[in-house]
Chain A
Amino acid sequence: MSQIFHRSTNTLSRVSIYAAVFVLAGLTWVLMALDRSPYTTKQGIVLRQPVPFSHEHHVAGLGLDCRYCHTSVETSSFAGMPPTATCMNCHKLIWADSDMLEPVRASLRDDRPIVWTRVHDLPDFAYFDHSIHVAKGIGCVSCHGRVDQMPLMRQAAPLQMEWCLECHRHPEAHVRPRSEVFNLNWAAADQASLGPRLVKEYGIRSVRDLTSCSTCHR
C-alpha cells in the first residue's frame, strides 16, 4: 500500500504546530492592541460637533477660566455644559452674524438646545464625580490634556479602567495644589516631595479605599 502523504508533510505538520502557537499569541496580541487602540477608546479622535468650538481660542487666546462654562465642576458629579445663554453673553456682540454661530443663535431663538456629541464618555457602570477630584487637587489637565492647545476637542486619555487605576494606585504622582487645578500650564518643580505631602494634607484616602470596586461601580 502506497503512502498517502508525502514525507514533507511531516515537516509541514511540525512547523504548523509551532506556528499555531505563534499565530494564537499573535492573535491575542492583536486583540489586546485593538482593545487599547484609539479605534476602541476613541482617544485622540475628533468627533463631529454642531459648532466647531475651539477650546484653544477661548482658553489660551481669550483666557477664559474652565468654570466660566463648566459651572458645576466643583459642586456636582457632572462638570456642566454651558447653556446657550452662556455662549450668547458674548456672542450677541462678538461675531454676532457669523454663519458658524448660526446654530447657537437658532438655539436661543427657538429655545431648542444644542445637541453636542459627548467626547469624554465613560461606560454607564462607571460613576465618575468631577467635584471630588477637583477638591482633592486633581487638575483638569490630568485627564483632559492640554485643552488650551486643542482647536477642536478630542479625548486626550484612553479613559480605560487600567488608566483610572494608575492614578488611584499612585495619587501622589498626579495630585497638585488646589490653587493650580484649573491651571493647564502648571508643572510641579518636585512632584516626588510635593505629592505625598498633598496626599496627606488633602486627606486622600488609602489606595485600598481608592481601588475598592464600589468606589466607582455600583
Chain B
Amino acid sequence: MSGTTRTDQPRGPAPDVATTRARLASSRGREFWRSLEELSGDPAFQDLLKDEFPAGASEWEDGLDRRRFLQLAAASLAFAGLSACTRQPLESIVPYTKQPEEIVPGRPRFFATAATLGGYAAGLLVETHEGRPTKIEGNPDHPASLGATDLFAQALVLGLYDPDRSQLLLELGEIRPWNAFVQRMQAALRPQQALGGAGIRILTGTVTSPTLGDQLRALLARFPKAVWHQYEPAGRDNARLGARLAFGEWVETRYDFSRADVILALDADFAVEMPGSVRYARDFADHRRVRHGEARMSRLYAVESTPTATGTLADHRLAVRAAQVPGIALACAAELGLVPAGSSPSLPADSKRFVTAACADLKRNAGRGLVVAGETAPPAAHALAHALNHRLGNAGVTVLHTDPVEVEPVDQTASIRRLVEDMRAGRVDLLAIVGGNPVFDAPADLGFTDALLKVPLRVHLGLEEDETSEYCHWHIPQAHPLETWSDARAHDGTVTVMQPLIEPLYGGRSAHELLSAFLDDPPRHGREVLRDRWRKRAPSADFEAFWRKALHDGIVPGTALPPRNVALRAGAIEEAWEQTNNSIMLAATSGIAAGGGLGEARDRILEVIFRPDPTIHDGRFANNGWLQETPKPLSKMTWDNAAYLAPAAAERLGIASGDIVEIEVEGRTVEAPAWVQPGHPDGALTVHFGYGRTKCGRVGTGTGFNAYVLRTARGMWSHPAASIRSTGKRQALACTQEHFSMEGRDLVRVGTLAEYRSDPGFARKKEEPPPKDATLYPGFNYEGHAWGVAIDLSSCTGCNACVVACVAENNIPVVGKDQVRRGREMQWLRIDRYYEGGPDDPDAHHQPVMCMQCEQAPCEVVCPVGATSHSSEGLNDMVYNRCVGTRYCSNNCPYKVRRFNFLQYSDEKTPVLKLGRNPDVTVRSRGVMEKCTYCVQRINSARITAEKEDRPIKDGEITTACQQACPTQAIVFGDVNDPSSRVSRLKAEPANYGLLEHLNTRPRTTYLAKIVNTNPDLEKGKG
C-alpha cells in the first residue's frame, strides 16, 4: 500500500552504449529492439517486463492508513451485493416541435467540409447525430484526403466541445456584446479614413481562403496604407523563398509520388508533415505495395536532421545535422553536373557513398524520380532540388509547378519582423490578430510582446483565451472550424466551401465576420459574406444549384490549379551554391564563436533543431487531451516534449533520458528533459515547439517546456550553436514505450525486396504455427461471416491517425500524464515501434497492434463471469455490464491489448463533452475491462442495413475507424470466410504472418511483413 512506486524513482545511469554495441556486434542476423534500456539488458528493465502492467499500475495511488482501508473494505463488501439492485432512473424523450425533413432520429448524417492546418485544406466528411458532430472522416472525393485524415483532423471533435474554449467577448476582461465591439471598431476606423489606414495592421496565419482574401483586399483597397501581415509558426517560408530563388517568382510545388520510382527526400517529412501529406503518403504507399506476382516498388532515400516518419519508411536513411543538409544537396548537384565537381564541401565517407548511390539511381530513373526538399530545409536546398528535378526531367512529371495556392505569398518571417518594427516605432494604431497566438509563438528575438504593448488598440480573435488575448484590449471568441462558414484551398488548389455542422456553441465569430465588422455596416453573417463572394464567381448561371453541389461534394469542381512549365532563372544555381557555402561556413564558425573552444567544452555545443510537435503541432492543440495522450511516433512520449539527442552525444555528455538539461541559445535559456533518441544525428539536439503554454485550458497549461524561447527569426528551424548543460535534476516522463513489451520475439518481420523475390514466404519461416487440431478446446465453426484484419507493415508510417480515430469512434477516455506513467493508458490501438541495427543509425519499424480477436482466445477461458465471450463471427466480445474487473483476461492475453478502467476515467460530469460521444458505443465506467471490438457497432449497423435490403454485406462496406482514417490504407478489414474479399487476398499473400502464432491463438489480425527496397550498392554497415 505504499504511495511510491518504482516508476517514481529515478532511473539508473544511461544504458551503457559501448556494451550494447559489443552485444549487437556478436549477434547474427536481424535483431530488433524497442528501447535503449532493453538493448543494454538493463536489469531494472528486465524487472519491469515480468509484470503484466508496470509496477504500481494496480496500486492505490495515495497513501492509505489502516482505518481508511477498513472503511473502504467494509463499504465495498456492502456495495458488492447491492450494486446489481439499482433501479433505472426515469428518462425523458424530447421530440422536436417541428421535425426537420431530412432528420431521421437515430440515424447519423454526413456533411462535407474541410479543416485547415497552416492554411491548407483537407476535405472531411463529418458524422452528426441529431445535429451533434461526433466523428470526422476524410472526404474520398477530395484530392488532399482520398477518404483519409491526419490525427489533427480526427481530434477536431474534442476541440469543438472543449469546455475550456473561450466563451465570452471581452474588453479588458469585461463582458461586452458584439455590437459594442462593432461600434468601437467603427469609431477607431473613422480617423484612419483620412490617413489612408496608415495605422491599421491585420495579422493572420497563411490564408488560402478566396473569400477571406477578397475581404482583406477590399480592406486594403479602402485603406491603401494599411498592411496585412501573415505569420505561421510552422510556416513554409523556405519552400516559398526556395521556389523564388529557383524560378524568380512565387511558385507552388506539388508532387506525384504515385509515379516516382526513386525518391530523394532532403529533410522532408512528406509522409506526415507537409501540406498534402495525407495524399502523398497514400500515393507513396500505393507505389510500394508488394504483392505476389508483382514485386516492384519505389526506392526512398531520406536525408534528415531529426528522425521522422519519412525516415522510418526510407530504404536508405542518412542522419546529418541540419547544417549539413544543403551541403548534401550541393553534392547531389555536383554529382549531376549542375555545379562543377569539387565545388561542394568534402563530405564524410558515408554521406559521400549515400550521395553517389542515390544520384546514380536518380540518373538511371530520370523522369521517374523525385527530389523533395522539406519545409525545414533552407531555401538554397529547395532551389537545388528544383534544379535537380529540372535536370532529371522530373519536373512536369512527378514534380508539378503551379501558381501559388496562397492568396498572397510572402516571406512570413520578414512580415512579422516588419510588423514588430512598425509597432515598436509607434506606427500602429490598431492591430487585429485574426487567429494565431503570436505572443507565444513569434520568433523570440523580435520582442513581439514588448512591441505589441505600444499599440493603442489591440484586438484578438481566438479559439481560446491564450497568451496573446492576455495582452489585447479586445478578445473575440472564435468559432471552431466545425461551426464556421468559410472556404479554403488544398495543396493542389482545389477549393472546398466549408459549412458549419452546428451553430456556434459559445457564440463564436469567424474571421469573415470579424473582417465584416471592419468593412460592412452592419456586419454580415459569415454565410452571407461567403455566398456573395461565390455568387459573383459561380461558374454556372444557376447559383443555387452550384452552391448546393459545392456544399454537398465538399469540392468546387475545376478549381485545382493546372500545372505549368516554369524555367529555372539564370544564375539560380550559382546563387544557391553560394548561399549553401556561406551557410556551411557560418555553421562551422559559430560553434567556435559560441565559446566552444576545445575538448569537453566543445562537446557541449550542439546544433539545435526546431520542429512542430508531432501531436500538438505548434501549440494550438495543447488543450486537446486526445492529442496530448497520443504517444509521439518515435519516442512514445505523452504529455511532454523533450530535448532529443543522439546516444553517442548522450554518452559523451553523461546525460540519460529524463535528466533535465539547460539549453542556451544566444543568451536565452530553457530547461528541458533530455531524451536519448536512437537514430538522431550526433552533434545536434531536437526540440519540439508547441509545449510550455502558460495560458490555455485545464488540459494543456503547464505541460512541457516552451521551445519558442530559443527560436529566433534567423534560425527558425535550426541554430548552429546551442550550449547544453546538465542541471542534475530529473523529470519523470510518461512514455508508453516500454510498457507491454513483447520480449524480443519475431513480432515485426522485415525483408528486402531481393529476399522477397527469392523467397516470398520468408516471413513465415521464422515461426511455424502449430497444427489446427493441437488444442484441447472444442472447435468453433464460423458459418456466416468471419471478420479479420490484415495490416501491411510496409505502408505504416506511424502517423497516429488510426490511434486518434479509434479514440474518437469508441469513446476512449483520456487518463492524464500520471496515469500513463503507471501504464494505465486506455487507447485500444497502439503502434509499437521497433529498432533494428545499432543505436546510432537503426532502422525503425511501426507495427499497429490492437485486439487480435483470437479464434482460440486465452482471455475468454479465464473470465469467471463470462464477460468476454466468443461471437458467432469470431469476435472476442467484451460485455461491460458483466465485467467485475478481475483482470484475469488481461493477465492471460499474450498481446497485452486489453485496457482496464482503474479509475473513473470517462468524464461523466461535464455536460458539453457528452455531446461529442458516439451514441453507438457504451461509455465505460470504473472497474471495467475494455479492448478493441473491430468497431462492432459499424459491423452491426452495416449488417442491419444489408439485411433490411435482403442482400449480403458487400466487401468493403464495413470499415473500422482505424482503417478509414489510415492515409496509406495499411489496415484492411473484411470477411475471411469470403475468399474474394480484399482481406482474404491479403491473408493469402506469402508475406502474411500472425503474431505469436506458436501459441495457437489463431489471431484474426495478421501482418504483411515489411519489405524494403535497398540499393545493393549501398549495403549498410551495422553498428
Chain A positions within 8 Å of B, measured between CB atoms, are 31, 34-35, 39-40, 42, 47, 72, 75-78, 80-85, 107-108, 111-118, 121, 123-125, 127, 129, 131-132, 135-136, 203, 205-206, 208-209, 212-215, 217-218
Nearest Cβ in chain B — how far from A4, in angstroms?
A: 32
CB-based contact A217/B872 at 8 Å: no
* Interchain CB contact (< 8 A) of A76 among B88, B98, B105, B784: B105
B99-A85 in contact (CB<8A): yes
Q: Is B570 an interface residue (CB 8 A)?
A: no
In the bound complex, residues from chain A placing their C-beta under 8 Å from that of B881 are 123, 125, 217
Q: Is the CB of A217 within 8 A of B922?
A: yes
With A111-B97, A112-B97: A117-B92 Cβ-Cβ less than 8 Å:
yes
**Interchain CB contact (< 8 A) of B937 among A72, A107, A205, A218:** A218
Determine how close the nearest CB of chain A comes to the CB of B556; give it in whole angstroms: 32
* Complex contact A116–B940 (CB within 8 A): no
A121, B88: Cβ atoms closer than 8 Å = yes
For residue B293, CB closer than 8 A to chain A, the reply is: no
Tell whether A135 pairs with B869 under 8 Å between CB atoms, given A76-B104, A218-B936: no
Are A212 and B94 in contact (CB-based, < 8 A)?
A: no
Residue in A31, A84, A114, A132 whose CB lies within 8 Å of B98: A84
B95 contacts which of A47, A81, A111 (Cβ < 8 Å)?
A81
**Do B104 and A218 have beta carbons less than 8 Å apart?**
no
Q: Is B921 an interface residue when CB atoms closer than 8 A count as contact? A: yes
Residue interface bits B83-97, CB-to-A below 8 A is 1, else 0: 011011011111111
A35 to B87 alpha-carbon distance, docked (Å): 9
Q: How far is the CB of A218 from chain B (nearest CB, A)?
A: 5
In the complex, the answer to whether A214 meets B871 with C-beta atoms within 8 Å is yes
- The residue on A at minimum CB distance from B939 is A214
Q: Choose among B87, B921, B936, B944 the residue that contacts A131 (Cβ–Cβ < 8 A).
A: B944
Q: Provide the bound-state CA to CA distance between A85 and B98, in Å.
A: 5
A83–B106 CB distance below 8 A: no
Q: Give 18 CB contacts A-B under 8 Å.
A: A84-B96, A85-B98, A108-B97, A114-B95, A116-B92, A121-B91, A123-B88, A127-B920, A127-B940, A129-B940, A132-B947, A203-B947, A212-B872, A213-B877, A214-B939, A217-B922, A218-B936, A218-B937
| Contact across chains for A118 and B784 when beta carbons are under 8 A apart | no
Cβ–Cβ contact A72 & B98, under 8 A: no
Give Cα distance in the complex from A9 to B270, angstroms: 89
**Residues of B close to A40: CB separation below 8 A:** 85, 87
Residues of the A chain whose Cβ atoms lie less than 8 Å from the Cβ of B922: 124-125, 217-218
- Please tell me which one of the listed residues B84, B933, B944, B948 contacts residue A214 in the complex, with CB atoms under 8 A apart: B933
**Interface residue from B85, B92, B923 paired with A35 (Cβ < 8 Å):** B85
User: Is B880 in contact with A84, judged by CB distance below 8 angstroms?
Assistant: no
B674 at the interface (CB under 8 A from A): no
How far in angstroms is the closest Cβ of chain B from A140?
17
- Nearest CB in chain A: distance from B799 CB, A: 27
Nearest-Cβ distance from residue B902 to partner chain A, whole angstroms: 20
Bound-complex Cα distance A35 to B940 (A): 30
Chain B residues contacting A35 (CB-CB under 8 Å) are 84-85
Instruction: Given A78-B105, A85-B97, check contact A115 B871 (CB 8 Å).
Output: no
Contact in complex: A81, B93 (CB < 8 Å): yes
Point out the residue from A76, A78, A212 that lies within 8 Å of B871, measured CB to CB.
Answer: A212
- Is B879 close to A, CB under 8 A? yes
Q: Please, which residues of chain A bring their CB within 8 A of the CB of B923?
A: 124
Contact A215 B90 (CB under 8 A): no
B113 CB, min distance to chain A CBs, angstroms: 24
Interface centre among A34, A121, A135, A212 (most CB of B within 10 A): A212
Q: Which residues of B contact A (CB under 8 A)?
A: 84-85, 87-88, 90-99, 104-107, 783-784, 869, 871-873, 875, 877, 879-881, 920-923, 933, 936-937, 939-940, 944, 947-948, 950
Q: How far is the CA of A151 from the CA of B772 in the complex (A)?
A: 61
Given contacts A72-B105, A214-B933, contact A83 B92 (CB under 8 A): no
Identify whether the interface residues of A are mostly helix, strand, loop, or mixed: loop
Chain B hits for A118, CB < 8 A: 90-93
Bound-state CA distance A13–B567 (Å) is 107
Q: A212 to chain B: which residues have CB within 8 Å? A: 871-873, 875, 877
Other than the given A206-B784, A217-B922, A218-B933, 14 more pairs (CB < 8 A) read: A35-B85, A80-B95, A85-B96, A85-B98, A118-B92, A118-B93, A129-B940, A131-B948, A132-B944, A135-B948, A203-B947, A203-B950, A213-B869, A218-B920
Give A98 to B84 CA distance when docked, in angstroms. 45
| Smallest CB gap from A217: residue in B | B879
Q: How far is the CB of B416 from chain A (nearest CB, A)?
A: 49
CA distance A77 to B106 in the complex (A): 6
Given the interface pairs A77-B106, A213-B869, the reply to whether A132 lies near B948 with Cβ below 8 Å is yes
Known: A212-B872, A214-B877. A113 touches B97 (CB 8 A): yes
Kindly state the separation between the CA atoms of A217 and B867 in the bound complex, as whole angstroms: 11
A218 to B940, CA, bound (A): 10
Complex CA gap A108/B97 in Å reads 6
A217 cross-chain contacts in B, Cβ below 8 A? 877, 879-881, 922
A83 CA to B99 CA in the complex, in Å? 6
In angstroms, Cα B920 to Cα A116, docked, is: 23
Question: B940's contact among A34, A114, A131, A214, by CB below 8 Å, is which?
Answer: A214
Closest-by-CB residue of A relative to B881 is A125
User: Which chain A residues border B85 with CB–CB below 8 Å?
Assistant: 31, 34-35, 40
Write out the residue numbers on chain A whose beta carbons fall within 8 Å of the beta carbon of B921. Answer: 218
- Point out the residues of chain A lying under 8 angstroms from B784, CB to CB: 205-206, 209
Cross-interface CB contact of A83 among B84, B90, B95, B880, cutoff 8 Å: B95
Cα of A168 to Cα of B996 in the assembled complex, Å: 37
CA distance A209 to B693 in the complex (A): 52
Query: In the complex, how many angstroms separate the beta carbon of A186 from the nearest chain B beta carbon?
Result: 22
CB nearest to A132 among chain B residues: B944
Return B110 CB to nearest CB of chain A, in Å: 15
B88 with A116: CB separation less than 8 A: no
Instruction: Determine whether the beta carbon of B94 is less than 8 Å from that of A115.
Output: yes
Give the distance to chain A from B869, nearest Cβ to Cβ, in Å.
6
User: How far does the alpha carbon of A1 sit from the alpha carbon of B872 in the complex, in Å?
Assistant: 72
- Closest Cβ of chain A to B186, distance in Å, is 34
What residues of B have a CB within 8 angstroms of the CB of A47 in the complex? 90
* A-B pairs, 9 with minimum CB distance: A78-B106, A212-B871, A76-B106, A81-B95, A213-B877, A83-B96, A83-B99, A118-B91, A214-B877
In the complex, chain B residues whose CB is within 8 Å of the CB of A213: 869, 871, 877, 879
Please tell me which one of the listed residues B106, B940, B947 contacts residue A215 in the complex, with CB atoms under 8 A apart.
Answer: B940
For residue B870, give the distance in angstroms from its CB to the closest CB of chain A. Answer: 8
- In the complex, the answer to whether A82 meets B940 with C-beta atoms within 8 Å is no
- Tell me how far the C-beta of B860 lies from the nearest C-beta in chain A, rounded to whole angstroms: 11
Q: List B contacts of A205 (CB < 8 A).
A: 784
Q: Which residues of B contact A123 (CB under 8 A)?
A: 88, 881
Kindly list chain B residues whose C-beta atoms are within 8 Å of the C-beta of A124: 922-923
Nearest CB on A from B884, distance (A): 15
* Residues of the B chain whose Cβ atoms lie less than 8 Å from the Cβ of A131: 944, 948
Q: Hey, which chain B residues are within 8 Å of A206, CB to CB?
A: 783-784, 872
Query: Bound complex: CA of A36 vs CA of B712, how far in Å?
Result: 72
**Assembly CA distance A215 to B940 (angstroms):** 7
Shortest distance from the beta carbon of A83 to any chain B beta carbon, whole Å:
4
A119 to chain B, nearest CB (A): 9
When A124-B922, A206-B783, A214-B877 are in contact, do A82 and B106 touch as well, CB less than 8 Å? no
Residues of B within 8 A of A78 (CB): 105-106
- On chain A, the residues within 8 Å of B91 by CB distance are 117-118, 121
Q: How far is the CB of B627 from chain A (nearest CB, A)?
A: 26
Give the residues in chain A near B873, CB-CB below 8 Å. 209, 212
Bound complex: CA of A200 vs CA of B425, how far in Å? Answer: 85
Contacts of B871 in A (CB 8 A): 212-215
Q: Are B95 and A113 in contact (CB under 8 A)?
A: yes
**Which residues of chain B are within 8 angstroms of A209 by Cβ–Cβ distance?**
784, 872-873
A75 and B87 contacting across the interface, CB-CB below 8 Å = no
> What is the distance, in angstroms, from A66's C-beta to the closest C-beta of chain B?
16
| A42 to B26 Cα, complex, angstroms | 73
Residues of A within 8 A of B106 (CB): 72, 76-78, 80
Q: In the bound complex, how far is the Cα of B939 from the Cα of A205, in angstroms? A: 15
